[in-house]
Chain A
Amino acid sequence: MSIRIDHISKSYGKVNALDDISIQVHQGELFGLIGPDGAGKTTLFRILTTLLLPDQGSASVAGYDIIADFKAIRKQVGYMPGRFSLYQDLTVEENLRFFATIFGTTIAENYDLIRDIYVQIEPFKNRRAGKLSGGMKQKLALSCALIHKPKVLFLDEPTTGVDPVSRKEFWEMLKRLQDKGITILVSTPYMDEAALCDRIALIQDGRILEIDTPKAIVEHYPKPIFDVGAHNTYLLIEKLNAYAHKHSVFPFGEYIHYTDQRDGFDPLELRAYLKKEGLQNIHIERTKATIEDTFMELAKQ
């Protein structure tokens, strides 16, 4: 077991940031913490990287206890915090050399591990970190988190605010790191990224909603979901919400995802209702649940 989290709780005053969290991450696994801002993801990262003490519970990382063996953990893990935390007025290369040196290694020794990522920013190695674009900062931060060849990598929302193209490239990099045997715990508010993890924990308000593989999580969705579309989306949402038998109504891209309270739901009945309410070009079709559907269903309870 690479990361073992056992009934961890943490509160700040009256706010329960983490409420009895237990997660086990296997060696070499790419594990995702999926949840919105304020879910408690960062607090958990800080506890696992020995920067914060839990109120209750215990945890170990790479076989070391987060309290008794905190110094050992710091040598074994790489941590990329959510906020850019490199030295803005050191250059790209100086930052990397600095992190290599404090971990007692050199860039050359572990260059192999970061080559893929670092080559993309190497042309700018004499530029100050503060002057880099968002995407380049992210690559530099990842290089710095990897330069001491950690066994476990913690990435706190590495793709927040990053465009879809750079996000996709970033996840491809993570997959390659995973292939090298590194255990990765990564958090994200983007539900579509969840599908790229081996297993995920859905987390909201400090509580775990569910832990499983992305595939199993969508299969657990309890109800049939229907894509509903019409000529006027705003009117459609209004009318679906006013429908007596609705269970949930959520916009999903081109269509609205609709679920009904009843077991024997007949789409033709809904179509007749919408038609009567003045909607045109009505489209109703069975569709598959996504991780986001599951998240919202669980978060509603």
Chain B
Amino acid sequence: MKEETVIKVEGLTKVFGDFIAVNNINFHVRKGEIFGFLGANGAGKTTAMKMLIGISAPSSGSANVAGFDVYTQTESIKKSIGYMSQKFALYDDLTVKENIRFFGGIYGLSKNNISLKSNLLIEELGLEKVVHSLVGSLPLGWKQKIAFSVSLLHDPKIVFLDEPTGGVDPITRRQFWEMIYKAANNGTTIFVTTHYMDEAEYCDRVSIMVDGTIEALDTPKNLKAHFGSDSMNDVFLKLART
């Protein structure tokens, strides 16, 4: 069985002035994989992610995302991916329904398709009672679950999640991860950053960035074995505390 590669990164580098934010990183991500992208604050994760989603041009190296080149085909990349972060997810002063309609429209879905998907999403998340509530009035955990579903509206090949569960309560955090598993099981590739090290264990493979370079990349199991640690937290501390 040939495994389809949906993200191919080779020698990717980003320089700001004399500061090398991302230094020659290399990795491949397979279709349907949950890929954890870890690193300390300031290690270069966000910069790397910005290049992959087509909003920041690399200084050198190459990357192909969902079959498109990060230098020349950024608009095609944007149509093929979903994105959500802790800071940006949905518009607080639009209702749940309005947000769905807005993002559906942005992603170029037809009116019929938006209403179909919108009903499906509302039913799946049990949102019947809050469809006409402003998103700003909902608990953070709900917002994040809705935002994740919205990022999947246009059936993207890859979803980028930048610390999607920060501050979310432990039960909702797990429900969120069940949604991630489900999407991955349906063939969507998940690229996720997190500061919760137990969540790193939920990933198929994990990369750990330190000062702009990828210092480790493997399954959580292999990483723990390699570093003689019993948790990903311990692996992270060993690698990142220099």
Q: A134-B42, A166-B41, A253-B198 are in contact. Are A37 and B174 (CB under 8 A)?
A: no
CA distance A161 to B46 in the complex (A): 13
Residues of A in contact (CB 8 Å), total 36
Chain A residue with minimal CB distance to B183? Answer: A234
Q: Is the CB of A250 within 8 A of B141?
A: no
- Find A250's partner among B41, B169, B174, B197 (CB 8 Å cutoff): B174
Residue of B nearest to A159 (CB): B195
B181: contacting residue among A135, A166, A234, A295, CB under 8 A: A234
CA gap between A134 and B41 in the complex, in Å: 7
Within 8 A of A (CB), among B107-139: 139
B195 touches A237 (CB 8 A): no
Known pairs A164-B237, A165-B40, A234-B185; A251 contacts B177 (CB<8 A)? yes
* Contact of B41 (CB < 8 Å), options: A133, A157, A192, A251: A133
With an 8 A cutoff between CB atoms, is A119 at the interface? no
B168-208 interface code vs A (CB 8 A; 1 in, 0 out): 11111010011001101100000000011110011000000
Question: Is B240 on the interface with A (CB-CB < 8 A)?
Answer: yes
- Whole-angstrom distance between the alpha carbons of A20 and B139 in the complex? 21
Query: Does B240 lie within 8 Å of A163, measured CB to CB?
Result: yes
A233, B141: Cβ atoms closer than 8 Å: no
- Report the separation of the CA atoms of residues A295 and B40 in the bound assembly, to the nearest whole angstrom: 27
6 examples of A-B residue contacts, CB within 8 angstroms: A36-B167, A37-B169, A135-B41, A160-B167, A192-B233, A234-B185
- B residues adjacent to A (C-beta < 8 A): 39-43, 86, 139-141, 163, 166-172, 174, 177-178, 181-182, 184-185, 195-198, 201-202, 220-221, 231-233, 236-237, 240-241
Using a CB–CB cutoff of 8 Å, the interface residues on chain A facing chain B are 35-39, 133-135, 157, 160-168, 189-192, 204, 233-234, 237, 250-254, 292, 295-296, 299-300
